[in-house]
Copies of this chain bind each other. A is one copy, B any other.
Amino acid sequence: MESSDWSPISGGITSPHGFMASGMAAGLKPSGKKDLALLYAPEGSFCSGTFTKSIARAYCVELCIERIKVCRGKIRAVLINSGQANACTGNRGKIDSELITQQVAQRLGLSSEEVLICSTGVIGEPIPLDRVTNSLNDLVENLSKKGSLDAANAILTTDLQVKQIAHETILGKRRVRIGGMAKGSGMIHPSMATMLSYLTCDAGVRPDIWSSMVKRVADSSFNAITVDGDTSTNDSFLAFSTGELLDPKYLPALENGLHMTAQYLAKAIARDGEGANCLLEIKVEGAKNDLDARIIARTISGSSLVKTAIHGSDPNWGRIIAALGRAGVPCDLKDIQLWIGPYKLFADGMPMNFDRKVVSDYMQEKLNGKYLIDDKIDIRLIVGMDEGSSIAWGCDLSDQYVRINADYTT
């Protein structure tokens, strides 16, 4: 089964049957933009999640983990606020999170344990409780099939672009849809999943199978991106499956669709990283195993010197080799081959004789193509050991990244 059997359709998390969403401005962001979202899952849905490994994780993350366990995945709603991360807010963070989910549950006729809360924004800032509770009636009333774009907007912080997507296919005689939304931007180097991403799917899957699928999907997508090497306190990835159980023979096809959807969102996050002008795709092949390939790819995609070279459209293969060199994976320099786009720059332990201007022009074109399908710079390495391969995504490091983050809270 090829992933090309999945067709993109317009929409997002509400495209799969039974899901509804809403999003609104509750006054949590100084900008007055949308900042409160609600995702509603139909009865019988099963939710699996992966969360930040940070020891400083926000209480809302603890709450998600705990409730998914208590409910055995039967989660029915997720409230998401942007503006305040509600991390490192002590006991108040806990009390507020519990109170808000209780109020959402009441309005939806659910028990509190069936409702999750995710928060994103400034660490140490508590949620303005009144503003949230005053908005909950409207938020619940506005739940609809058409609410995905509002919700996808309401979860953004310094993101410039909305990140949502939906795919559809026929498995047997049944139409199956997958929807997703995410937010990213800074503090993006997920150690388990990224800062707030959501998948919905209207095919039922046995909970244990769904949970292991979701872990694999997180690894191939959100865990493969970096913007700045910093891992957030609130990273969460939630994936809902609902509806009649899918014939097990279609599970590989379904997983393909999930990977594709999650990778789209992950790449959208990297491309829209703070101050970024292009998406960087690092493909490592020929490693001893996939893990080694992954370590090399992640080290290169996280190197400040590689990222600044990309920003300067500088085919500085030396920095790529230096990053590979410090990745801690044994390999022989003489066996390494390196390409930027179609141009081979390094082989046999030495630089190739290449036209620096041609490669630089190629990179400049990609850098100018922000948000076009063609804004991706490909770096490919063959390390000549064995069959291990992996892909990582990142972005360039620009003056704007520094400006955005030098001026963020004060």
- A311 touching B406, Cβ below 8 Å: yes
- B229 touching A321, Cβ below 8 Å: no
Q: How many copies does the complex hold?
A: 2
- In the complex, which residue of chain B has the Cβ closest to the Cβ of A303? B230
Contacts of A322 in B (CB 8 A): 54, 56, 87, 123, 187, 230-233
- Bound: A349/B56 CA distance, A: 9
Q: How many residues in A have their beta carbons less than 8 Å from beta carbons of B?
A: 72
Q: Which residue in B87, B88, B314, B398 is a CB contact (below 8 Å) of A409?
A: B314
Contacts of A399 in B (CB 8 A): 399, 402-403
- A406 touching B55, Cβ below 8 Å: no
- Bound: A331/B55 CA distance, A: 7
- Bound: A228/B303 CA distance, A: 8
- Bound: A404/B314 CA distance, A: 12
- A318 touching B123, Cβ below 8 Å: yes
Q: Is A175 an interface residue (CB 8 A)?
A: no
Contacts of A303 in B (CB 8 A): 229-230
Contacts of A122 in B (CB 8 A): 318
**Minimum CB–CB distance for A292 against chain B, Å:** 12
- B410 touching A402, Cβ below 8 Å: no
Q: Is A72 an interface residue (CB 8 A)?
A: no
Interface string of A305-333 (1 = CB under 8 A from B): 10011011111111101111110111111
Q: Is A128 an interface residue (CB 8 A)?
A: no
- Bound: A348/B89 CA distance, A: 10
- Bound: A64/B409 CA distance, A: 48
Q: Which residues between 361 and 410 of chain A lie within 8 Å of chain B, taking CB atoms?
A: 397-399, 401-410
Can you list 12 contacts pairing A with B, beta carbon distance less than 8 Å?
Answer: A53-B328, A54-B325, A55-B329, A55-B330, A230-B303, A231-B326, A304-B401, A308-B404, A312-B410, A314-B407, A397-B402, A399-B403
